[in-house]
Amino acid sequence: MATDVKVPALGESITEGTLAQWLKQPGEAVAADEPIASLETDKVSVEVPSPVAGTMSEQLFKEGDTVEVGAVIARIGAAGEAAAPAAPATGQGQTQVAGAQVNPVGAGENPALREDHAAAPADHADLTLSPAVRRAVLELHVDPSKIQGTGKDGRLTKDDVLAAAKAKDDSPAPVHEPEVKAPAVAPAPAPQPVRAASGERHEERIKMTRLRQTIATRLKDAQNTAALLTTYNDVDMTAVIDARARYKDLFEKKHGIRLGFMGFFVKAVALAARDVPSVNARIEGDEIVYSDFLDVSVAVSAPKGLVVPVIRDADKLSFAEIEKAIAAYGKKAKDGTLTADDMKGGTFTISNGGVFGSLLSSPIINPPQSAVLGMHRIEERPVVRDGQIVARPMMYLALSYDHRLIDGREAVTFLVRVKEAIEDPTRLLIDL
């Protein structure tokens, strides 16, 4: 008897998600608790595990479909049980490559592309490709089953296909000795593949993921609702760099984690927020809500967009605890295992565009928060110290804030407090 696979709880206030990808196809063996599908919600990606071991029997939704919490999306049969005869469920997100699934040649369709597609080995029928990769495979006439994927879980990327096509073009053509045969009627020349004309341009339409739609909506709502303003300053990173160089080995040996720059900035924000509590507050209706705790949302780049997991009670944590929390969130973001609870709440955000090379930017607040601190890249610049022009490792800081709640004087004061703490880290130890 088949076992139903249901959509698990996705987090507080989340009632539905998008079926992003099937990780198992009908007929494939499935282990207990092995992920069979990936769901996308407004905040995170969630893998759906199989409740039992057996064989994927049936898929009840296509990729790209919206599914509600508790809905049955698949069925798992006994080991070795034949799969349901229904057509494989593939949607916009992925396209299955198999000879049996090639559409018949229609008006305007290139027969050469159809022949290449139909020639895909049958034993690779479970290979899944994104639309961009599939188009590259068809246009460049390469066999995807013979390419080693470098994407997540070994999946093919467009760069993998391009590299394989280039390697094929660069390889020398085999030399054959001519054969002597009796005269015969020359066969008609084989049709040559029609290649895209040089300079031909293409467009591709891909539906926005649920996460990207949510990011777009929230950022635009912030611009439409808040009175956004940004104040800037620069900070000399010499003292922090020296402290980090001096103690990083001892720190890692004792705590098992590297000492980074973010820990200093989280501590500096916690110190400055005590003097300027409005940056840690929010507006609800006609009321201002002040928090006696500091939950810092740290912007982390994930494969499908920017996410902001929250470091709880950051003002009470040690450097080691902050660095461990950041490292754990970074790994979960890379693996796609962040949960909705990881990103719930947050009273202040720190975004580090410097890791991507940003020199200066104006970040947008993360509603309902009222402020966000933007860090940028460190570079040596000439500055004046004691009447002398010297080179110092400098970083631009940007504080974007909701001017409805935070006055300019408060914003500047907060940013100066952060600057002072970074330029003299001793302040972090003696609470100045």
Is 335 a residue of the active site?
no
The candidate with the shortest Cα–Cα distance to 29, out of 96, 150, 144, 126, is: 126
Residue tagged 């080179």 (tokens): 391
AA identity, residue 25? Q
Catalytic member of 143, 407, 424, 431:
407
Q: Beta strand pairing status for 305-307 and 348-352? A: unpaired
Rg of the chain, C-alpha, whole Å? 28
State the Cα–Cα distance between residues 379 and 395, nearest whole angstrom. Answer: 7
Catalytic member of 249, 275, 335, 403:
403
State the Cα–Cα distance between residues 92 and 106, nearest whole angstrom. Answer: 21
For residue 384, give the H/E element and its range: strand 379-385
State the Cα–Cα distance between residues 16 and 43, nearest whole angstrom. Answer: 11
Six-digit token string for 414: 């907060």
Six-digit token string for 116: 């290449």
Is 407 a residue of the active site?
yes
The candidate with the shortest Cα–Cα distance to 347, out of 272, 405, 294, is: 294
Q: Is residue 141 packed enough to be buried (19+ CB in 10 Å), middle (13-18) or exposed (0-12)?
A: middle
Q: In 3-120, at which residue ranges do the beta strands (DSSP E only) sit?
A: 3-6, 16-22, 29-30, 35-40, 45-49, 54-59, 66-68, 72-77, 95-96
- Provide the annotated active-site residues: 403, 407
